[in-house]
Structure 1
Amino acid sequence: MDECLVIVDRDGIIRLLNQAYGRFLGVDPAAVTGRPVTEVIENTRMHIVARSGRAEVAQIQLIQGRHMIASRYPILDRGRPDGAIGIVMYRNTDDLWQMNAQVRRLVAELDYYREAMAESGAGAGTMIGESAAIEDLRARLRKVAAGDATVLIRGESGTGKELCARALHAQSNRASGPFIAVNCAALPEELLEAELFGYEPGAFTGARRGGKPGRFQLADGGTLFLDEIGDMPPSMQVKLLRVLQSREVEPVGGTRSVPVDVRILAATHRPLERLVSRGQFREDLFYRINVVPLDVPPLRERPEDIPLLVEHVLARLARRMGRRVPAMDEDAMALLRGAEWPGNVRELENAVEAAFYLSEGDHIGVEDLPGGLRRSARPAAPQGTLRQVLDRAEREAIEAALRATGGNRMQAARQLAVSKSTFYEKLARHGIRPHFRSDSDDPERP
């Protein structure tokens, strides 16, 4: 066994020290058998456990300047202590802390994917919205999902292209298989091939000892989602095209091809037709992936879906934080509906999340929304015809001038830079009668 093991009798004499422990201590197990454990193992408590009969589990022990984690268990004969068995669980506490950090990271990752699967597992039903654009997208998804055709999902950044891909997978015959996503723009060119196709042991410096399967192999029997495929380097486009044609991948450093059964979903926010005309994207690859095109509408084209999206985000945040779902007031909601949202749903989610944490109590107001959003809000559209808008502005300017001059019509006319006759005509047309502090204040009074 790889773990360090020692057995002592009731008097603390070593009866067995395995090879792993001998290598760790730098001693010959046969040579130390029969010697007191206190002479062989530094800071040991084996002799104490052998007499007391009480176990000591996961205890820190300093040996040769290193802190180890050891457990000591008594050997009982008819209930009486008759020796002890010691096992070193970790030969260095750094190993324990690294494992704990890894476990915490994996648990956090598991929680994230559980939440993501809970939101996306229901398929197209999780695409929040009731607008005509979303209903049309749902209908197209249902038609396309059942087959194995390659789908190209197009839309601006942040519109939810991956959510659309997950919905396709969840409604397909491959729903029980894996859904593997890879962002073609996030990986350097020299790593993208190894990530997609895997590599054999020793394929390059730093490769894992046993090699590594690629995303195509991991997605076997399921769906592979190639996000931002428009950013794939030209050299990789050739290799991807070959895989799509042959349905076989050849790992880096390998000599044989591996068959794969994978449905390809691709997505991009870039104009592929323009890239093809410039020679930046292969035309044959474009036709290979553009079998069924799907367009995800930007948020600005479906503002009626914003209240539903806001409600969904707030409910998710409230569940995560154990809070009551706050209500968003009408002014704040109107501001959200009037925003341009160049970042689409992702930008909306970030704004709502910021407001959730900045708000107090169960209410979100305009003041809780991000400052940039408040400053960039579009002004409300004017009410009425142009003539009505101009008349209101003119009346407000005349009334403001009269208030500033205490009702003196001559001074108000000069302030507005109009003649006395024109000013009087406008007073009559708008039905404005100045109010004076006293009759004698009006210079025009006969």
Structure 2
Amino acid sequence: MNAKLLHIPADIIETIVENAFEWLVVVDRKGMIIYINHNYCEFLEVNREETIGRHVTEVIENTRMHIVAKTGKEELADLQFIKGNYMIANRVPIIKNGEVIAAFGTVFFRDTQEWMKMDSHVKSLLTRMQPYIQKIDSGVKYTLDDILGESQQIISLKEKVKMVSNSDISILIRGESGTGKELFAHSIHQLSSRSQKPFIKVNCGAIPENLLESELFGYEEGAFTGAKKGGKKGKFQLANGGTLFLDEIGDMPLSMQVKLLRALQDGEIEPIGSTKSISVDVRIIAATNRPLENMIEEKRFREDLFYRINVVPFSVPTLRERAEDLTLLIAHFIDKVTNRLGKRIAGIDRNVMEILKSYSWPGNIRELENVIEAAVHLTKGEQITLDSLPDYLQTQTAIYRFNNKKLKDIVEETEKWVLMQSLERNSDDKVLVGKELGVSRSTLYEKLNKYSLL
């Protein structure tokens, strides 16, 4: 093999060396440059002929090549700051007859962002192998492959996930209820460097105000009546080293917003009943379907907290805005439900598909999945028909719903349906429902009471 290598023409060897590495430099045992490839010279803005014979420290900023050539100790995947950016470099000694005669250095990633993008890409590929390898239980249920869609909005968002996952910056995911915000939160954690650490979710709207502080920060033994013996760790401590997902953060009371902001700014929490602070290292991902800017104006959400969590904003589109994904999602949910039930569904009636496509889907993907599941259960044959759909969905087409009905009944039925959709869109926030529909508080409550929607 060595004999064959000796017969490779010098120009071929030079071409290989020039292109095998992005940047390559070779120094002798004294640290003098004996070779540097063209790409590296272009980046450094130096003339190659003039660098040969110069000490490496005179040419490359913050280099350690001369140290490796002297000590004979290799340095792999080391960060090196060059021209305002961190590079990822390898430095390897060249040894002959047990003696260091030179050293070569390579840069595989020209900046840390390049590395993080590659790392996220590799992790994304590995998620497809999860059924075949041992799954690490970090609290993550979903990966990027669980986010279905071929629309440009979804493709762009998934690329954005890969770009920001490996950083520690805070992320705010916004979108209507049922759009899949939690799937994006799980995917970001799963592709991050914190993926081996816990992913802890807190639903800020589901926990009573008087319990939220102890849930987030924990408490010491004897902190209050009914406190557990030995105390209890809060979600911040449980998520230490990993990710804390603050779902429905727009529902967090103002009093807790102040304490949360302090914890994020200081990187410390103070359990209830404790006299000392505890350092925590968590990455924050928050999600909301609330109009936070309006809530800031109404003094219902702190502006300083908003800017703290909204470093990288994500806006998840509604199902209405990605209508081209509807057919794909319907097919996916039919397969999912039928595989679980062992039921055969061969297709969907054309009129049913028209209704599904014309419907506005205020509950988004969550509502679509529920509708398909109900339809599969209610289908008697092998095709989903109009009778399989929930009654409220059939109101989307008057030909099926309003035949032989009085105008008064049609108006009331439509009014009730509009109220139900607005309540779902605004997560039962009556103030927002009133504003959306343009009715007074007293009128709204009168109608909600009429249709038993309170």
TM-score normalised per structure 2:
0.55
Distance 1:357 1:283, change over 3 A: same
Q: Calculate the aligned-residue CA RMSD, in Å.
A: 2.5
Shift of 1:120: 6.8
The percent identity for this pair of structures is 54
Q: Does 1:183 align with 2:206?
A: no
Q: Tell whether the 8 Å contact from 2:140 to 2:199 is kept in structure 1 after alignment.
A: no
Corresponding residue of 2:326: 306
What is the CA–CA distance in structure 1 between the aligned matches of 2:140 and 2:229, rounded to whole Å? Answer: 35
| Worse overlay, 256-265 or 121-130 | 121-130
Instruction: Specify whether residues 378 and 344 from structure 1 end up closer, same or farther in structure 2 by C-alpha distance, changes over 3 A only.
Output: farther
Match of 1:255 in 2: 275
Q: CA deviation at 1:118?
A: 13
Instruction: Return the match for 1:133 from 126, 138, 153.
Output: 153
In the other structure, the counterpart of 2:191 is 171
Q: Distance in 1 between matches of 2:186 and 2:302?
A: 26
1:292 is matched with 312
For the pair 1:347 / 2:367, whether they are aligned, the reply is: yes
What is the deviation of 1:122? 5.8
Long gaps (5+) in structure 2: 1-133, 400-454
Deviation at 1:225, TM superposition (A): 0.5
Partner of 1:406: none
Distance 1:377 1:179, change over 3 A: farther
What is residue 303 of structure 2 aligned with on the other side? 283
Q: What is the CA-CA distance between 1:334 and the residue it aligns to? A: 2.3
- Corresponding residue of 1:149: 169
| Alignment CA distance shift 1:234-1:378 (3 Å) | farther
Residue number among 323, 327, 331 corresponding to 2:347 in the alignment: 327
Q: Larger radius of gyration, structure 1 or 2?
A: 1
Please tell me whether the aligned partners of residues 142 and 186 of structure 2 are also in contact (alpha carbons under 8 angstroms).
no
Give the whole-Å Cα distance in 2 for the aligned partners of 1:203 and 1:326: 60
Match of 1:392? none
Which residue pairs with 1:193 in the alignment?
213
Give me the whole-angstrom Cα distance separating, in 2, the residues matched to 1:335 and 1:145.
Answer: 38
Task: State the distance in 2 between where 1:245 and 1:177 align.
Answer: 22
Task: Render the CA deviation track for 1:75-123: whole Å, top value 9, x for unaligned.
Answer: xxxxxxxxxxxxxxxxxxxxxxxxxxxxxxxxxxxxxxx99x9997562
Question: CA–CA distance in 1 between the matches of 2:190 and 2:302?
Answer: 30
Deviation at 1:324, TM superposition (A): 3.8
CA separation of 1:327/1:177 partners in 2, compared to 1, >3 Å: closer, same or farther? farther
* SS, match of residue 190 in structure 1: helix
1:194–1:378 CA distance, 2 compared to 1 (3 A): farther
Unaligned runs of 5+ in 1: 1-113, 380-446
Asked if structure 2 preserves the Cα contact closer than 8 Å seen for 1:120 and 1:126, the reply is: no
- Partner of residue 367, structure 1: 387
1:228 to 244, 248, 268: 248
Mapping of residues 5-404 of structure 1, within 5 Å? 123-324=143-344, 326-377=346-397
Give secondary structure in 2 for the equivalent of 1:213.
coil
Asked whether the 8 Å contact 1:182–1:226 carries over to 2, the reply is yes
Contact 1:339–1:378 (CA under 8 A) maintained in structure 2:
no
Change (3 A) 1:360 1:294: same
**Equivalent residue letter for 2:159:** A
Distance in 2 between residues matched to 1:364 and 1:335, nearest whole Å: 12
> What per-residue deviation string (whole Å, max 9, x for no partner) do you get for residues 223-257 of structure 1?
11101111111110110001101111111111221
Q: Which amino acid aligns with 1:332?
A: V
Aligned residues: 266
Q: Give the Cα separation in 1 of the matches to 2:346 and 2:138.
A: 22
- Whether the 8 Å CA contact 1:250–1:258 is kept in 2: the answer is yes
Query: Is the 2:139–2:199 contact (alpha carbons within 8 Å) kept by the matching residues of 1?
Result: no
In 2, Cα distance between the equivalents of 1:132 and 1:224? 29
C-alpha distance in structure 2 between counterparts of 1:123 and 1:181, whole Å: 16
SS of equivalent to 1:207? coil
